Amino acid sequence: MSDLDVTTLTDAVLARMSAQVTPRTRQLIGALVRHLHDFAREVELTEAEWFTAIDFLTRTGQNCTENRQEFILLSDILGLSSLVIALNHPVAAGSLASSVLGPFYLPDVPEVPLGGELASGVPGTPTRYTGQITDTAGQPLAGAVLDIWSSDGEGWYDVQKPGPLQTSARGRVRTGADGRYAFWSIKPADYPVPTDGPAGELLRAMDRDAMRPGHLHFIASAPGCASVTTQIFASDSPYLRSDAVFGVSESLVAVFEHHLPGVAPDGRRLEQAFCTVNFDIRLRPD
C-alpha cells in the first residue's frame, strides 16, 4: 500500500467503482470526480474555501420549498440549465426553441376554455395571446395543450406572495380543430430573480445583474410531438441581451402591440389600455 497524494488520489477514487457499475454511471461519476479533482488542483483549493462551498450548497438545499427550487435557480444563473436544454432539445426544421423551466412551475393547474382568462384581478396590462400550433410540416395540431404561467405585471409570481397559495396567471389552454389557441393574461413585467438566497449571493459575488426580461412561460405538447418548455419574451424589454439565466433566443421574442381602451379583436370591451400578441408554435416529431 502506498500513500495517496495529489497526483494519485483521483485514480484511486475511480478504481473503487466495481465492475457491476453501469457504463453510463461509470461515465457520469468518473467525469464528475476527474473534473472536481482537477478544479481543486488548478485553483489550489483551501480548506476554508472548501468549507464555504459545502455551507453554500447546504443552504441552497435548505432554501428549497414546495414552491421554490433554489437548485434550479442556481443552475439557471450559472447557464447550466440552458446548456442542458441545448444538448437535449435541438431546434429542428424550424421547431420552437426551448428555454428554462424556472423555479416557479406548478404541475396542477385548471384548464381554461379557448379564449378564456388566466389572470383575472392580477395587476398588469391585459393581453390577448393568439397563435397556431403546427408540426414542422405545417399541419395544424388540434387538441395541443399549452401549460402557461407567468409573473404579474409587477414581477411577482403567485407562489412568492405571503399566505395560503392562490394560483393566478396560470392555466392550461387547448387548441381548436384548426390548431389555433387564444387566451387572456397580462403583459409580463421585467423582474429580478430571487436574490434573498444563496443564488443571490453568487450573483453579487460575480457582480452580475439579477434582471430577467418580461416573459410568459409555457409548455407546449401534442400527441406524436416532442413537448417544449419555453418562454415568450417582450421585444421592448431592455434586458433581452443580459438575461440573468441566459434563456432568451431571438425566435422567442415577440412584439406586444399596445391598444387604447376599446373593443378587443374578440369583441371584449376594455376600459383600460391593452395588448395583443400573436405567436405561432411549431413542434418537432417525438
CATH for 91: 2.60.130.10
Rounded to the nearest angstrom, the gap between the alpha carbon of residue 70 and the centroid of all alpha carbons in its chain is 13
What's the confidence (pLDDT) of residue 96? 92
Residue 105 lies in a domain: yes
Confidence (pLDDT) at 1: 56
Judge if 101 and 239 occupy the same domain: yes
- For the chain, which residues score pLDDT lower than 50? none
Structural domain includes residue 3: no
Look at residues 18, 41, 68 and tell me which one is the last residue of a structural domain: 68
Residue with cell 480548506: 47
**Amino acid 160: pLDDT:** 85
Backbone angles phi, psi at 91, to 5 degrees: -75, 130
Cα 72 to chain center, whole Å? 9
Domain match, 27 and 122 both: no
Which of these, 134, 136, 128, 215, lies nearest to 175 by C-alpha position? 134
- The answer as to whether 110 is a domain residue is yes
Residues 128 and 222 in one domain: yes
Model-level pTM greater than 0.85? yes
Please give the tally of structural domains in the chain. 2
Shared domain for 60 and 75, answered yes or no, is no
Give yes or no: residues 137 and 168 share one domain.
Answer: yes
Q: Is 1 among the domain residues?
A: no
Contacts of 254 (CB under 8 A, 6+ apart): 232, 233, 234, 235, 277, 278, 279
Give me the domain span that covers residue 59. 9-68
Shared domain check, 49 and 81: no
Query: Does 191 share its domain with 116?
Result: yes
Q: Is residue 31 part of a domain?
A: yes
Angstrom distance (rounded) from CA 117 to CA 120: 6
Sign for the pseudo-dihedral over CA of 184, 185, 188, 194: negative
Of 68, 83, 99, the position where a domain reaches its end is 68
Residue 157, pLDDT score: 92
pLDDT, tens only, 82-125:
999 999 888 887 899 999 988 888 888 999 999 999 998 899 99
Joined grid coordinates for residue 21: 457499475
Within this chain, do residues 61 and 77 fall inside the same structural domain, yes or no? no
209 lies in the same domain as 88: yes
